Amino acid sequence: MSDLERRLGESLKSVRAAVAESRAERSVAAHAEFRTRLKRRRVTRFATLAATAGVMTGVIAIAATQGGDLFQRTERRPSVPATPGEYIAVGENPVGVSVGGNLAWVASSGGTITRVDPTTNRSTGVSGVGGEPADVVLTPGAVWFSDSGDGTIKQLDARTAKFVGAPLPIGSQGVYIDIDVGPEGTIWATSPDFGALVAIDASTGEEVRRVLVTSPTELAITGGSLWTLVEHGAALVRFDFDSSQEAIRVPMDDVDKTDLASTATAVYVAEADGTILAVDAATGEVTARASADGTDPELAIGMGSLWVVSDGEGTDAKLERLDLGDLRPDRKATKFVGAPTDVTLGEGSAWVTDTGRDTVVRLPLSP
């Protein structure tokens, strides 16, 4: 055995040991410590482990560029806690979920997009897209996701899960990019480091508008308005689509923000400590305030309510339903096991990405 082969073998063993250690740290018992190391929405950079074996970098890069083909796999069944809901195995470190066209799509920062069939609650395939997927949205026939690994927006064909077109540069490597769907199928994305909101024509995949704003981090779109947290969450701003002009600016407390959601009459701001604010869409006045029963809340709107998923102590998580007006709880919170990173509604359920077990949790909703 040559000296190069020996060193390569030692490097591969080192990488495998590091990966095994990382996954062990993400066990349910040790997950509280793991959460403290995660960045926004827990988008992490496990790819840096591979960099310790320099000769592997080229192999990983080639594999990433060849990603995009959907393939069937032997299904991995997660351990199912004795709590409500279905726990569906997805890719490593799931961080975003979107539901539409009778399918759920889950973005995992480990480099995959997973397709889930709601009729069976099973994964039907995983697309190895490489990079670090961070957020995912749907338009007819297409799946769009932001890639924090290289600061781009990418498109997959919803039928084949193959890449469509070239990646569109939005931000710098390692920066979280939030995306949402606006009027007429336009994809909007935050570019915090470039200081802009970027609009992409879903039919062509090309950039069609860029609104300059300081360090936008979160998006919420309803009707003719686009809401965004700017200056790293220090202010909440509403832009009108037609003019791209700033219509309202609301100073916010200097605390970490985790999500936005909006209706035609209000926008809702989630803060990392569990605080939820309701802001009047016309005046910018804070009209209600509530505390989620947990931390790092994520928001979704549907069935006439605001749905809040948050971390509890240890491995507990909670899904709460709040009144859109006064933010009072509509009913008792649903407890489940997990470390939630995103939530959306669809197919009569709340879908929550969970980094604790690399699952998406489907929680049924009652009227």
For the chain, the average pLDDT equals 83
**pLDDT tens across 260-301, in order?**
999 999 999 999 999 999 999 999 999 999 999 899 999 999
Q: What local confidence, expressed as pLDDT, does residue 242 receive?
A: 80
Contacts of 114 (CB under 8 A, 6+ apart): 90, 91, 94, 105, 106, 108, 123, 125, 126, 127, 360
Could you tell me if residue 42 is left (phi over 0), alpha (psi between -120 and 50 degrees) or otherwise beta?
Answer: left
Band of the pLDDT at 29, cuts 50, 70, 90? very low
Confidence of residue 312 (pLDDT cuts 50, 70, 90): confident
pLDDT digits (tens, 9 = 90+) for 88-120: 999 999 999 999 999 999 999 999 999 999 999
Interval 330-352 mean pLDDT:
94
Query: Using one digit for the tens of pLDDT, what is the confidence trace for 179-238?
Result: 999 988 899 999 999 999 999 999 999 999 999 999 999 999 997 899 999 999 999 999
